[in-house]
Structure 1
């Protein structure tokens, strides 16, 4: 990546990549604590790397109360940027949009078992200036199901969303499954975001749980691939030095292709992925990165 910035400037490859999912498992930060923590992220030197604060539909009341108790200085002089996560599907869309009125709605993430129905409801209810991502359960994306869903989404204005981890081993897709999703999107020019399990830069086995975690650097580099075998090989790489070297070699055009595809992922920690990038020499920090309470 030519001219990798120094002195705390966030490289284009990582801008807006980390959506703040602090209130979700395994972080589970209380909403009252997540709001000031997010405000701090948004005013820190690394703010260009940070996306909106993600909040589930059922916790928007808590969020409004937490924001309402803050001082003018804490609110930063403007509305909180919030990404609405709707695990209950399109029935949650209208009430969530109404409950989010005090905030700046940065996007909607809608889970569904029927992609066509979700597209229709988003077309009907979502203001045109608010982006959305549609998540279909992984079991429905196997075999011909993946092509069917991606074909529906590519004809819509909405991104795909893919779950890359969770609280049990079965929640983590293997390299072949994730590669099929990434390359299916790449072949169609369909953007997507990911969620869960991507806190660290490099693929690894968690020493406490034994879960196989994908690395967000692996996913970024695999996002430019259209061949499933090539993408799976990148996803399987466990050597951070090799991945860092590949990032340094990216051209500006490749960075654009990658980020037009892989737009963001939810992470319950902001400091952890930034710390990994700094350790790999991909980010220059002007001040120490502290692991926030999670």
Structure 2
């Protein structure tokens, strides 16, 4: 019942802020999602490397984040084993891109490299393209400066699409449509805006058009745009992490993009 455009779109990051669900509750909640009518929209269970030891032998498909960089990877591989479906690795501030990618050479699971927002960005994306690694964009956080504006994110999307590098996103995508958080005043990207921008980039749109799509606040106009996309856009924009599966799903239902029956 989940349209193909949205299958696997939501990585279950329930244990991360702002949800911060205890691991003991998050694992059975993930199992319930996978048994629900909307199971096809649910991706892997996201866990930070330091929490792996607490997981024990729970049988769950994992996307593990390594915020400390490649030094955490051997421990992740040992603890996660064949449950590991993806590895998200950050580049330490002092590490050069070539050194980072060399450290990842033995890893044979899909790797999403967290793209830095500094002068290394272009080189990192270029090496991702050469090595077959994917990209991960951080699209928000606990302070306003962690949110890239629409121009910065547009250029980043344009660059990865040009390079043939798929990407996922994490943090700050709390709603389907671009919005201003009433509690913090932060400008938040919409996950449908990002999906629309990825589709436009695949069609050859330039950074200015992509920025306009990322800034679009009209739910009707954005929904109409997303409705024209086919599943090829998901070869570029793979998924995003959310601390709630039901909240984005409910918004997709309200916008008429997912059938109502899936949440029953």
Task: With the length of structure 1 as denominator, give the TM-score of the two structures.
Answer: 0.84
The secondary structure found in structure 1 opposite 2:43 is strand
| 1:11-59 deviation per Cα after TM superposition (whole angstroms, max 9, x unaligned) | 1211111100111111111100110010011111111111100111100
Task: With the length of structure 2 as denominator, give the TM-score of the two structures.
Answer: 0.93
C-alpha distance 247-136 of structure 1, shift in aligned 2 (>3 A) = closer
The secondary structure found in structure 2 opposite 1:117 is helix
Structure 1 residue 287 displacement after superposition: 5.0
C-alpha distance 287-84 of structure 1, shift in aligned 2 (>3 A) = closer
The secondary structure found in structure 2 opposite 1:108 is strand
Corresponding residue for 1:63? 55
| Alpha-carbon distance between aligned partners in 1 of 2:168 and 2:221, rounded to the nearest angstrom | 24
1:87 pairs with one of 67, 74, 88: 67
Instruction: Provide the alpha-carbon RMSD of the alignment.
Output: 1.4
Corresponding residue for 1:133? 112
Corresponding residue for 2:186? 211
Say yes or no: does 1:183 pair with 2:130.
no
| 1:104-156 deviation per Cα after TM superposition (whole angstroms, max 9, x unaligned) | 111100001433223222212x1x3x211011332x25xxx432221111101
| Alpha-carbon distance between aligned partners in 2 of 1:95 and 1:146, rounded to the nearest angstrom | 27
The secondary structure found in structure 1 opposite 2:260 is coil
Corresponding residue for 1:96? 76
Runs (5+) with no aligned partner, structure 1: 1-8, 68-78, 290-294
| Alpha-carbon distance between aligned partners in 2 of 1:242 and 1:273, rounded to the nearest angstrom | 18
1:27 pairs with one of 6, 14, 19: 19
Say yes or no: does 1:174 pair with 2:149.
yes
C-alpha distance 194-156 of structure 1, shift in aligned 2 (>3 A) = same
Corresponding residue for 2:7? 15
Corresponding residue for 1:240? 219
1:221 pairs with one of 178, 190, 196: 196
Structure 1 residue 247 displacement after superposition: 1.8
Corresponding residue for 1:162? 137
Do 1:164 and 1:173's aligned partners in 2 also have CA atoms closer than 8 Å?
yes
| Alpha-carbon distance between aligned partners in 1 of 2:18 and 2:7, rounded to the nearest angstrom | 24
The secondary structure found in structure 2 opposite 1:53 is strand
Do 2:10 and 2:241's aligned partners in 1 also have CA atoms closer than 8 Å?
yes
Do 1:118 and 1:134's aligned partners in 2 also have CA atoms closer than 8 Å?
no
Corresponding residue for 1:123? 105
| Alpha-carbon distance between aligned partners in 2 of 1:180 and 1:205, rounded to the nearest angstrom | 22
Structure 1 residue 214 displacement after superposition: 0.2
Runs (5+) with no aligned partner, structure 2: none
Corresponding residue for 1:72? none
